[in-house]
Amino acid sequence: MIMVKIAPSILSANFAKLAEEIKDVEKGGADYIHIDIMDGHFVPNITMGPLIVEAIRPITKLPLDVHLMIENPDQFIDAFAKAGADYISVHVEACPHLHRTIQHIRQLGIKPGVVINPATPVESIKEIINDVDLVLLMTVNPGFGGQTFIESVLTKIEKVKQIVDERNLDVEIEVDGGVNPTTAKLCKQAGANVLVAGSNIYQSSDRKKAIELLKSEE
């Protein structure tokens, strides 16, 4: 099995002490900081914007993994790049000109990622996988933390892994939503190498332990 990276989602952190919450998971062995951007249109919730990303940038050395759940992401890519994002991931469902959007992110020196919802088939990203650094498979319907993992996405992870191997690509396979030690194991077996986890890590009083359990090979 592959050694996985863990990307705690700060959506489940205590926003009143965000800096501490980020430092806590960094000390606990996190590999990325996952930042969920929601606009109240693409998803039924509103969260953060570029200002928060800019505020977070100097408080951690970890790469910032920015997950855009917004309509018309093209309009905001420059702002998130300027704010300090390392990865910017956009949803297939929100991008009519996906290739242009991915190139735009790459031209800014940022690693582009493409995201698909649970009901969106892997076929929809076959033509873009060679151009991205990360494929993010949603294992819940986006919008909220603390939802239940959708098991049918496991076969999609396997399909993406097969494409990545066949084409010999250097692309990360990330999963997001409902990740806990049990579902983490299934995702790893299916071929995921980056696990986003919000509530599982932030609801734990010992974040280091929670991260270790997600990384565990048992």
Helix/strand/coil for 216: coil
x/- binding map, residues 152-181, to ligand 5SP, per CB under 6 A? ------------------------xxxx--
21 binds Fe ion (CB under 5 A): no
Candidates 112, 159, 199, 211; binder of ligand 5SP (CB under 6 A) is: 199
Q: Where are the alpha helices (DSSP H) in 37-176?
A: 50-56, 77-83, 98-107, 153-166
CB of 28 to ligand 5SP, least distance (A): 15
Residues of this chain, 66-105, that bind Fe ion according to CB under 5 A = 67
Check binding of 176 to Fe ion (CB under 5 A): yes
Cβ-contact 68, 91 below 8 angstroms: yes
User: C-beta of 67: minimal distance to Fe ion in Å?
Assistant: 4
Region 136-155 residues binding ligand 5SP, contact defined as CB under 6 A: 140, 142-147
Burial class of residue 13 (count of CB atoms within 10 Å of its CB; 0-12, 13-18, 19+): buried
Interface characters, 66-95, with ligand 5SP (x: CB under 6 A): -x----------------------------
Shorter beta-carbon distance to Fe ion: residue 102 or 140? 140
Kindly write down the DSSP assignment for every residue of 177-201, as one continuous string: SS--HHHHHHHHHHT--EEEESHHH
Give the Cα separation of 110 and 80 in Å (integer).
Answer: 10
Report how far Cα 76 is from the mean position of its chain's Cα atoms.
18
Active-site residue, 31 included = no
Residue tagged active-site, from 36, 39, 65, 133: 36
Q: Is 29 left (phi over 0), alpha (psi -120 to 50) or beta?
A: left
Residues contributing to the site for ligand 5SP (CB under 6 A): 9, 11-12, 34, 36, 67, 140, 142-147, 176-179, 196-200
Query: Which residues are known catalytic residues?
Result: 36, 176
